[in-house]
Amino acid sequence: MKIFIDTANIESIKEINSWGILDGVTTNPSLIAKEGIDLRTCVKRISEIVDGPISAEAISMDAEGMVREGRELAEIHDNINVKLPMCVDALKATKILSNEGIEVNMTLIFSPHQALLAAKAGAAFVSPFVGRLDDIGHYGANLLTEIMAIFNNYGYDTEVIAASIRHPVHVFEAAAVGCDIATIPYDVLKKMVSHPKTDEGIERFLADHKRSTKK
Ligand code: G3P
């Protein structure tokens, strides 16, 4: 499974990239706003750090505007794909952009039907939001299973990005059903590394080593 980081924070991206496990980056208008940086500058800087897909979200709500924004964003760097929020205009824009070779990441996916339509329109990625479904009392991971079953049944090339990841169990759930990608916040990536038994083991090995070299 490919691992993307879900952030617009340059320092976090640099750090996770240095771990040697990073395959791409997703941003959204909320993450960009948090950094107090404009979208173009932000994705340009990310493209200088990470060699992999980078999602930049359009804010137009009509197909014409989405296509215009999509073309402008794609010009910044070859690795940039255009995130569009699921709606009829986004489907129309996806068809046009994908025919031009511009990749679309259809975001705010909350049902398998939405994912199916996005794949048919030519989206390169779909982003089902696991955590936000959990928030309203659903079991978000079910959506990943349903989308994977549909895409496997018909051999769609569209890659599934498990998004709105809130904790390491979400990452495990995404990997268990074969999602192509999980886009993971910085703090969840940090949590994935640690285990109390690992820390305890390191401490014991170091203590034993110290004792044995004293003799
Ligand atoms: O980037 C989209 C998604 O991952 C947002 O996550 O935590 O705001 O639901 P969250």
Distance CA 181, CA 162 (A): 6
Average pLDDT over residues 192-206: 97
Q: Is the CB of 57 under 6 A from ligand 1?
A: no
- How does pLDDT run across 154-167, given as a tens digit for each residue? 999 999 999 999 99
The mean predicted confidence, pLDDT, of the chain is 97
Closest ligand 1 atom number to CA of residue 127: 2
How many other CB atoms are there within 10 angstroms of residue 153's CB atom? 8
Residue 174 pLDDT exceeds 80: yes
In this predicted model, what pLDDT tens digit does every residue of 27-62 receive, in sequence order? 999 999 999 999 999 999 999 999 999 999 999 999
Q: Could you tell me the distance, in angstroms and rounded to a whole number, from the CA of residue 204 to the centre of ligand 1? A: 39
- Per-residue model confidence as pLDDT tens digits over 53-95: 999 999 999 999 999 999 999 999 999 999 999 999 999 999 9
The two structure tokens encoding residue 178:
């074969």
What is the DSSP annotation of the chain? -EEEEE---HHHHHHHHHTT---EEE--HHHHHHHT--HHHHHHHHHHH--S-EEEE----SHHHHHHHHHHHHHH-TTEEEEEESSHHHHHHHHHHHHTT--EEEEEE-SHHHHHHHHHHT-SEEEEBHHHHHHTTS-THHHHHHHHHHHHHHT--PEEEEBS--SHHHHHHHHHTT-SEEEE-HHHHHHHH--HHHHHHHHHHHHHHHHHHH-
- Closest ligand 1 atom to the C-alpha of 27? 1
Assess whether the C-beta atom of 6 lies below 6 angstroms from ligand 1: yes
Question: Is residue 173 in contact with ligand 1, taking CB distance under 6 Å?
Answer: no
Would residue 197 show up in a list of annotated catalytic residues for this protein?
no
Residue with CA at minimum distance from ligand 1 atom 9:
164
- Rounded to an integer, the average pLDDT of 177-188 is 98
* Residue 214 pLDDT exceeds 90: no
Query: Which two tokens mark 214?
Result: 């004293």
Q: Is the pLDDT of residue 23 over 90?
A: yes
Cα 6 to ligand 1 centre (Å): 7
Cα of 163 vs centre of ligand 1, distance in Å, is: 6
